[in-house]
Amino acid sequence: MAAIANPQRGVRDLMCSEEAAAVLADAVASLPEDRRRTLPAPRTVSGEEIATLFGDGSVHQGFAARVDPLADTALEDVLDAAGPQAVLMVLDQVTDPHNIGAVIRSAAAFGADAVIVQDRHTPQVTAVVAKTASGGLDVTPLVRVTNLARALRSIQEAGFWCVGLAEEGPTALDSLDLAGRTALVLGAEGGGLRRLTRETCDQLVHLPTRAPIRSLNVSAAAAIALHHAAIAPSRKVG
């Protein structure tokens, strides 16, 4: 639904099961006329045919679309458009596509301005990423950069406070006021933040977890950090 509503997303084919046809028709009918004209007429197919398209056991809800990749978003464009309360999510070599998708979903839900990843060692956008993101890909830009440390320095030069999450961070996340331009930096599933990344961050913080479970999945940690940024005194979440 997010993809067909996004005017920047090219849609080549729309499919739905007979049970889901009315829902899709209503969704298309609610779109602006100029967007409706760009969409192909939905085709009714069996649920089994939709499942076959994925081939990986993914659960679907009776809908599928063949879409073009979104155009690349440059970091410079994100920084130029950022407001005084902008929030960026930066991922340091997170490799699991489910985690990438889940972080994008949380970023969209909490109003982050972009998710920034290192191009190398980060999976490409696939159906798995898109499905896990639950529409977030068409709401929050995914920015790929070549050198993460260099990107962080550009983000700092644009007035962002770069906060890295690490177990050894001396400050608890919930004691920090994240008002103003903030970049939240999270590391890979196993190794966490790389040395150069953590050295580039302005501050390291930890989540106030309890023993014996001291660490969280990166997507869970991202959601907590994004929520904390969203409820900073100068921000409001609707």
pLDDT in tens, 193-226: 999 999 999 999 999 888 888 788 999 999 999 9
pTM, entire model: 0.91
Please give the pLDDT value at position 115.
98
Q: Which domains does the chain have, with CATH numbers?
A: 2-67 (no CATH), 75-230 (3.40.1280.10)
What are the backbone angles phi and psi of residue 172, rounded to the nearest 5°?
-75, 140
Residue of 212, 203, 194, 198 lying closest to 172 (CA atoms): 203
CA separation for the pair 218, 97 (Å, rounded): 12
pLDDT bracket for residue 189 (50, 70, 90): confident
CA separation for the pair 15, 17 (Å, rounded): 7
CA separation for the pair 79, 233 (Å, rounded): 22
Please give the pLDDT value at position 235.
54
* Partners of residue 116 on adjacent β-strands: 90, 143
Tokens matching residue 174: 């919930």
